[in-house]
A and B are shown apart, each in its own frame.
Chain A
Amino acid sequence: MAKYLLLKHYRGGPKPHPNAEAFMDQWTPEEIAAHIAFMGKVADDLSARGEYVDGQALAPDGEFVRYDGEGRPPVTDGPFAETKDLIAGWMIIDVDSKERAYEAAAYLSSAPGKDGKPLHEWLEVRPFLTEPPVVE
Chain B
Amino acid sequence: MKKSNMSDKFPKVPLKVHEAVLEALDGLDDLETGKENIIMFRNRKNKYAAAAIIGAAVIAAGTVTCYAALKYLTPSQAALELGDNKLAKAFEGEDAIPINETQKYDDYTISLLGVASGADISDYISPDAALGDSTMYAVLAMEKTDGTPMPDTSSDEYGGSSAFFASPYIQGLAPKDFNIYTLGTGYSEFVKDGVQYRLLEFDDISIFADRTIYIGVSEGMAYDVSAYIFDETTGKISKNPAYSGINALFTLPIDNSCADKKAAQEFIDKISAEMHPSKSGKPVSQPEMSDEEKELDAFMSQITGENIGEYLERVESTVQILTPDKDNYIEYSWELESGAGGNEKLLLDWIDIAPGETKLLGWSSSGGTIEGLCVPTLTDNGDGTYTFAAYIYGQK
| Genuine A/B complex | no
